[in-house]
Amino acid sequence: MADALTTTAELSSEIEDIIDQGEEFVYIVSAYIELSHQYHDKIEAALKNADKVALIIRDDGEIKKADLEWFRSVKKLKIYKVPRLHSKVYMNENEAVVTSLNLNGQSIAKNYEVGVLLDNDEDAYDDILERVESYMQKKYLWNPNEIKELPSSGVTPDSSSKTAGKKPTRSAKGVKTVSTTKTKPSASKTSRSRTK
Write the pLDDT tens digit of every residue in 35-59: 999 999 999 999 999 999 999 999 9
Write the pLDDT tens digit of every residue in 165-182: 344 443 444 443 433 333
Q: How far apart are CA 195 and CA 154, in angstroms?
A: 45
Q: How far apart are CA 90 and CA 18, in angstroms?
A: 7
Does residue 81 lie within any of the structural domains? yes
- Choose among 94, 97, 93: nearest CA to 14: 97
Instruction: State the pLDDT at residue 106.
Output: 86
Does residue 153 lie within any of the structural domains? no
Does residue 159 lie within any of the structural domains? no
Range name among 14-18, 43-47, 84-88, 186-190 with the lowest pLDDT average: 186-190
Amino acid at 52: K
pTM of the shown model: 0.78
- Within a 10 A sphere around the Cβ of 191, how many other Cβ atoms? 5
Instruction: Identify whether the C-beta of residue 55 lies closer than 8 Å to the C-beta of residue 79.
Output: yes
Structure letter (DSSP) for residue 60 = T
Query: Diameter of the chain by CA atoms?
Result: 56
CA distances from residue 16 to 34, 49, 134 in whole angstroms, order as listed: 15, 14, 23
Write the pLDDT tens digit of every residue in 76-88: 999 999 999 999 9
Element (H, E) at 163: none
Q: How far apart are CA 1 and CA 12, in angstroms?
A: 20
- Per the document, the length of the chain is 196
* Full domain range(s) for residue 123: 3-146
Does residue 160 lie within any of the structural domains? no
Does residue 155 lie within any of the structural domains? no
Does residue 24 lie within any of the structural domains? yes
Does residue 182 lie within any of the structural domains? no
Domain count, the chain: 1
Per-residue pLDDT band for 7 (boundaries 50, 70, 90) equals: very high
Does residue 184 lie within any of the structural domains? no
Write the pLDDT tens digit of every residue in 97-150: 999 999 998 899 899 999 999 999 999 999 999 999 999 999 999 999 988 765
Range name among 23-27, 72-76, 186-190 with the lowest pLDDT average: 186-190
Q: How far apart are CA 57 and CA 59, in angstroms?
A: 6
Which CATH number characterizes residue 56's domain?
3.30.870.10
Instruction: Identify whether the C-beta of residue 55 lies closer than 8 Å to the C-beta of residue 28.
Output: yes
